[in-house]
Chains A and B, each alone.
Chain A
């Protein structure tokens, strides 16, 4: 694929959520969420509407005009999720989305992902933490770059509960 085709795939088909949020520091939450729509060529009015909608989906409808440094870690990650969602991608890729968050906030963020999954959104998430992995419907364990197990949530949870190692 050419560079521009790759850019289109990143724009339309994949939503990225990063460990370090990667929001644009000088832009408001709303402007951050609007960015993928800008690159998709969505007109301003529709852009705003859809960005608001995405922010509401992650329960952040009120703080939309705040800059990232005026938001808590959990709120920042919600903005990032809204940004990943706003172009209705086929896949949401999350790279250790709770790695920079405390456990309470991590739980909140995981609930957001669960809700999205319930609504039919495919979410692929990478994590080191078994209790975070336990939120997934299907858990693939990678060890040194090789798949060591691939099991449904229930089996994985049972194995963890018996004190077994995740991998």
Chain B
């Protein structure tokens, strides 16, 4: 009871005194706050960005289905290529062809396989032009492979339309809005690179910014891309969905074997195509963000260390300056524990102000990122807790030495101190 009352009082008083001390020692306090703020800012800012990216990437995975994997001409690579022919052998990979797709479709472990190729065109409706619209060209089973979110009143193209290379297009909501405003685009005719296409539907693009989710897009049959827009299908990629009950690994094995057979590769030859499973995608992704996470930890550790040293300096000065006050408090009945607690509260207040500044900064950064980029950055509640926790731990750890010195002072000596 006695200690609780004293602690509560010490808490409010300690915070007030610490804020006073802060005003009195602007430079030192500024440095301390800056250090802690940088530490907290690093944690909050980066985790807000990662949080935003995570959410949108999770959406990408969701829309594809968990076992679906991708066969593409080129691997995802960060290799630096030169002209020697020794590096980046994959540059010589042949295109994936329609007959190959047909063969894969017939494999027993495969439920469905579809092709996709991305392109970019100019779209025009009456006097409105969009210079760059991302075209995603698919085979007829687009609708069942990636389950697009088609708005009421519209539809995806049919297998028939796909096989005949019909000039039909499904616009993303962004494209529809920019070309038609409030009007209903379904049934209207748009020009894609000068060729007329009938709009048969509008879909909501749920892909992440990594997959160009913020870009205006149009979906057309892949044959139409080839025939009407005269685009050679040099970079066609396949999405393969295994049958229910078949694991991704089994289906991948079967696809690999079939591809080797079709391309007449000897067992010693490396595969001249790339397979990307969601597991692999996920681990690549985790690698990148693992690095970001380490950078974040390092930055915040340095910041908190600088802040911690500042806390020691300020608190040491504070204890020396207030030796007499400590003597008086002890004369009036303060115990070691109350004095210790009082100075720890002051130290934590210092770091707490830093944490507050850092949180505001991180939050501001998240807001800027949200406004300026398609990343839906938001500060996760856990990061706020971590930031507050880190600042409290820093305050207590670095404030302990000065606080213990204050608590150990002999009251008679302290009262005599000039």
Question: Which of A's residues lie within 8 Å of B, judged by CB?
Answer: 3-4, 7-8, 10-12, 16, 18, 22, 24, 26, 35-36, 38-44, 83, 87
Cross-chain contact B336 with A35 (CB below 8 angstroms): no
Question: For B328, what are the chain A residues with a Cβ–Cβ distance below 8 Å?
Answer: 22, 24
- A24 vs B337: C-alpha distance in the bound complex, in angstroms? 20
Known contacts A24-B325, A38-B5; is-contact A10 B333 (Cβ 8 Å): yes
Contact of B1 among A38, A39, A41 (CB under 8 A): A41
CA distance in complex: A41, B6 (Å): 6
In angstroms, Cα B5 to Cα A155, docked, is 49
A7 in contact with B325 (CB, 8 Å): no
Q: Which residue of B lies closest to A18 (CB)?
A: B415
Known: A22-B415, A24-B325, A26-B17. A39 touches B6 (CB 8 A): yes
Interface pair B330/A43, CB less than 8 Å apart: no
Which residues does chain B contribute within 8 Å of A36, judged by CB atoms?
332-333
- B9 beta carbon closer than 8 Å to chain A: yes
Residue numbers in B under 8 Å from A22 (CB-CB): 324, 327-328, 331, 415
Shortest Cβ distance from B335 into A: residue: A7
Closest to B333 in A: A11
How far, in whole Å, are A87 and B333 apart by their CA atoms in the complex? 10
- Residues on A with beta carbons closer than 8 Å to the beta carbon of B337: 4
Are A41 and B415 within 8 A (Cβ)? no
In terms of DSSP, what is the predominant structure of the interface of chain B? helix
Complex Cα distance, B415 from A41, in Å, reads: 24
Closest to B17 in A: A26
Question: Which A residues are CB-close (under 8 A) to B338?
Answer: 39
Interface residues in chain B, defined as those with a beta carbon under 8 Å from any beta carbon in chain A:
1-6, 9-10, 16-17, 20, 324-325, 327-338, 411, 415
A39 to B328, CA, bound (A): 12
Bound CA–CA A41/B2 (angstroms): 3
Instruction: Out of B3, B5, B10, B336, name the residue touching A3 (CB < 8 Å).
Output: B336
Give bound CA distance, A83 to B324, whole Å: 17
B330 to chain A, nearest CB (A): 7
Asked if B333 and A42 sit within 8 Å, CB to CB, the answer is no
Docked-complex contact A41 and B5, CB < 8 angstroms: yes
Q: Which B residues touch A39, using CB under 8 A?
A: 2, 6, 329, 332-335, 338
A40 pairs with B336, CB closer than 8 A: no
> Which residue from A7, A42, A83 sits with its C-beta under 8 Å from B334?
A7
**Known pairs A10-B331, A22-B328, A38-B9; A4 contacts B336 (CB<8 A):** yes
Contact call A10/B4, Cβ cutoff below 8 A: no
Q: With the chains together, A24 CA to B331 CA distance in Å?
A: 13
Q: How far is the CA of A42 from the CA of B1 in the complex (A)?
A: 8
Asked whether B330 lies within 8 Å of A41 as measured between CB atoms, the reply is no
Complex alpha-carbon distance, A103 and B344, angstroms: 43
Compute how far the CA of A39 lies from the CA of B6 in the bound complex, rounded to whole angstroms.
5
Q: Which residue of B lies closest to A39 (CB)?
A: B333
Q: Is the CB of A3 within 8 A of B335?
A: yes
Question: In angstroms, how far is the closest chain A Cβ from the Cβ of B411?
Answer: 7
What are 20 A-B pairs at a CB distance below 8 A? A4-B336, A7-B333, A10-B331, A10-B333, A11-B332, A16-B331, A18-B415, A22-B331, A22-B415, A24-B325, A24-B328, A26-B17, A35-B329, A35-B332, A38-B5, A39-B329, A41-B3, A41-B5, A43-B5, A83-B332
**Minimum Cβ distance to chain A for residue B12 (Å):** 10
A57 to B371, CA, bound (A): 65
Q: Given A38-B5, A41-B1, A41-B4, do A10 and B332 touch, yes or no (CB 8 Å)?
A: yes
Q: Is the CB of A10 within 8 A of B325?
A: no
Q: How far is the CB of B388 from chain A (nearest CB, A)?
A: 27
CB-CB < 8 A to A41: which residues of B?
A: 1-6
Give the shortest distance, in Å, between B320 (CB) and chain A (any CB).
Answer: 16
Given contacts A18-B415, A22-B327, A41-B6, 19 further A-B contacts (CB under 8 A): A3-B335, A4-B336, A7-B333, A7-B336, A10-B331, A11-B332, A11-B333, A12-B333, A16-B332, A22-B328, A22-B415, A36-B332, A38-B6, A39-B2, A39-B333, A39-B335, A40-B2, A42-B5, A44-B5
